Chain A
Amino acid sequence: MMRTRETGGRGLALLGAFALALVLCLSSRTAMASEFVAIVNAKNPVVKLTASDLRDLYLVEQKTWSGDMRVTIILPTSNSPAMDALLEVLRMSNEQALSMHYMAAVFRQTMSTPPRTGDVDASLAAVKSDPGAIAIVPRSAALGHGAVRIIEVDGL
C-alpha cells in the first residue's frame, strides 16, 4: 500500500513536471500569410476570425457557426501556396500531417468524411452556393464577388 502511494505521488509529480515544462517552453504564435484570406458566404454573419478560430474550423474542432449553421470547410489544392499558408496557421509540417489528422477525426467520429478540396474557382463556387462554407484563396481572387465575403484573420 505504502509503495503504491509513493508510486502515485511519483506519477503525479512526473505529470506536473511535464505540464510545467510544456507551458514554459511553448509560446509561438502564427498568422496566415497576408496574401491569402478566408472567404465565407455573404449570408454568414461572422465578420472576423482569429488564427485560433481558423485552426478550430479546419481541424474540425468547431463544426457550427453562430446560429448553429454547419461549417463546410474547403481545402486549398494540394501543394499550392494557399495550402502552405493554411498549414502554417494549422501548425502542421506538411499535408501528410493534415491527412492523418482527418483520418483520426473520422476514426473518432468527429467527422464522417474528409473535407473537399478545390482550386480557386471551385472554392469560390462552393462558398457562393453553401452558406456555411469557408475557403482559403488569394486576396486578389476574392475581390469583386458579391456572394462572397472576405473574413479578416488576425487583422489581415
Chain B
Amino acid sequence: MRGMVGLFTGVGLLVAPGPAHAEEAPAVQTEQVQTEQVQTEQAQTQREVLPTLLPAVELGHGIPRIDLRGFGHVQYQASWFDPDLGPDQSTNSFVNGGVDLFITSQIAEDVSFLAETVFEFEEGGENVLDVERVFLKYEYNDALNIGAGRGHTALGYWNEHYHHGTWLQTTTDRPLMYRFEDDGGILPVHFVGVTASGRWKTGLGSLSYVGTVANGRGDITDDIQLVEDLNDQKAVGLLARFEPASLPGFGAGVSTYFDKIPDNPAPSDGTPPRLRSMTEQIYGAHVFYMGRRLEVLAEFSAILHDLRGDTSHLDHYGVYALVAYRVAEKWKPYYRYDLLSIDEGDPFYQGLAEDDERHTVGVRYDFRTFLALKAEYQHSHLRSGSENYGVIQASFAF
C-alpha cells in the first residue's frame, strides 16, 4: 500500500509518493532517531495514512478545482423470522450497496459547493440515481455560515454526521428513527431550503447552532419537495449543541422542527385519502462522546402530529443508544439499542412504520484505513413478531 496513489486523491489533486526527508535540520534528525525506535505494526499502518492527505486547492485566478470522492459497500445478509408467524420467510443474499459519489469544490476562499449522488440498486434489478445533496455554502466567519440547496436536516447528531456512506458510521446501517424517507423513515432527514449555522467558543465550551427554513413535507413521507412546495408555510428548524471545554469529545444538543403537512385527498399509492392538513412538531435531544477508544451516542426524537380541525393528537417516538469501544487499534465491538413507537392511525404514516424494538451487536474491523469490515447481528421485536438479521459488510471510502 505504501507508495500507492493517495486514497484521498481526487480529480486534479497533486500526488506525493510519501514522506520526503531530502534535507533536514538537526532537530528533524532527532525525530527520525526516535521514530526508528517505534517500528511496530501500528506505526507501519500509520505511515501509510497521512502522506495521502495532499494539497489540492489552488485559489486565485485559476478555475476552481473539484474533488471527487465517494463511499460504497457490499454485504452478505440473512434474515429469519419467528416460526410462529407461518411459512418460513428466511432469506439470505449478497447485496450491492450502491455507490455514493460526492463532489466538493472550493469556489472561493469562503464559498464551497458540494454535490452528492447515490447510485442505488433496487430489488428487481432496477438501478436508481438519487441526487442526495446539492449545497452551496458561504462562510462569513465561524459564527455565521449561510447555505442553500438540498441537504441533511439538522435533527440531531447522526443525520448531520452520517448518511449514505456506511464506512463513516460504526454500525452497518442507520438507527430506526433515522431511516431514509424512501425506506420507511418517519423523520424528514432531507430538506430543500436555506440554513444559517455557526459556532461560538467561550471559556466554558463551544455552542453551535443550525437554523433551517425549507420546503416542508410533501403529501407523502417520501416526497422531498425539490422544486415546489404544496403549501406556502415553510418548515423551520433549529438545532443547538453545547460541547464543554472541560470534557473534550463530549457534547449535548436539542433540536426542534415545525411544519405543516398538506392534505392528500387523492393519494396515488392506494392509501386512504387525507382530507385535512396536519401540523408536525419534532423535538429532539442528543448526547455524544467521541473519545480515543470509547464512542457513546444517544438520541431521542418525538414527532407530534395534529390533524387540523380535530382534537386528536398522534405522538411518535424514536430513540437509540450506541456504545462502542475500540480495542487493539483496529477492532471496535459495539452495541446499539433502537426503539420506535408509532401511534396507530396516523394518516401520514399509513402502513409505513410500526413499533419496533431492536438490539444490535457487532464488531467493526478497520482492515485498511479506508476499508472497514463489519459483522453484525440484530434482533427485532415488532408488533407482527420477531425478526433476526445478520450481516457481514465491507464498506469503503475512496
Contacts and interface: CB of A to CB of B under 8 A. Distances in A.
Given A11-B339, A112-B104, A119 B30 contact: no
Interface string B366-382: 10011000000000000
Contacts of A81: 31, 34-35
B321 A18 contact: yes
Interface in B1-51: 8, 10, 13, 19-21, 23-25, 27-28, 30-31, 34-35, 42-43, 45-47, 49-51
B316 A4 contact: yes
Contacts of B249: 26, 91
Interface stretch (B73-81, B212-220, B225-233, B292-300): B292-300
Nearest to B8: A114
Interface string A50-91: 101101100001111000101000010111111100000001
Interface string B243-272: 001111110100000000000000000000
Contacts of B183: none
Interface in B319-356: 319, 321, 326, 329, 337, 339, 341-343
Nearest to A70: B109
A94 interface: yes
A8 interface: yes
Smallest CB-CB A-B distances: 8 pairs: A11-B319, A7-B341, A113-B56, A78-B50, A114-B53, A141-B27, A112-B106, A18-B298
11 contacts: A1-B343, A15-B298, A62-B199, A78-B46, A80-B35, A103-B8, A104-B168, A112-B57, A114-B54, A116-B54, A120-B27
Given A63-B139, A80-B35, A106-B69, 8 more contacts: A4-B343, A7-B341, A26-B291, A78-B19, A78-B49, A79-B46, A109-B104, A120-B24
Interface of B: 8, 10, 13, 19-21, 23-25, 27-28, 30-31, 34-35, 42-43, 45-47, 49-57, 67, 69, 102, 104-106, 109-110, 112, 114, 135, 137, 139-142, 160-161, 163, 165, 168, 199, 201, 206, 245-250, 252, 285-287, 289, 291-293, 296, 298-300, 302, 313, 315-319, 321, 326, 329, 337, 339, 341-343, 366, 369-370, 397
